[in-house]
Amino acid sequence: MVVFQIFALGVSGETPISENLECSTEDYDTGKKFFYNMQIESLKAYIMIDSVKMFIRTGRKQADNAWRFEEYKEKTDAMCINSIGFTVTLQDIYEGVM
C-alpha cells in the first residue's frame, strides 16, 4: 500500500484529492468516481497513486475549467503540490513498497 491516503485540502485556492488505487477498485476509481469528483466546484487538483506499479497521474483544473493531466513513471520524477509547497519524488513515495 502506498503511503498517501485520500485527503482534501483547501489551501491557497487549490483543493487536491489523492486517491490510492487498489487493483479491485481501479476501474471505478479512475472512471465513474473520478468523473463525479471532477464535478466538485472547489476541486482544483486530483492525484491518483497506483499501489501496484510506480505510476502517478495528476489532474489540475485550469482557469477555463478544463483539466490538464500529467503522468509520473520514473523514480526520479518529482510531483509538486503547489497549494502546500510540497515536492516529492516517486522514489520517496514508493520507498519500502517496491
Which single residue is written with the C-alpha cell 483547501? 10
Does domain 16-93 bear CATH number 3.90.1570.10? yes
Local confidence pLDDT in tens for the 98 residues of the chain:
333 433 444 444 555 555 565 667 677 767 777 777 778 777 778 888 887 889 988 888 888 989 899 999 999 999 988 777 788 899 988 888 77
Residues in a beta bridge with 80: 87
What are the boundaries of each domain within the chain?
A: 16-93
The answer to whether the pTM exceeds 0.75 is: no
- CA-to-CA distance for 54 and 75, rounded, in angstroms? 7
Decide if 36 contacts 18 (C-beta within 8 A): no
Note the pLDDT of residue 5.
37
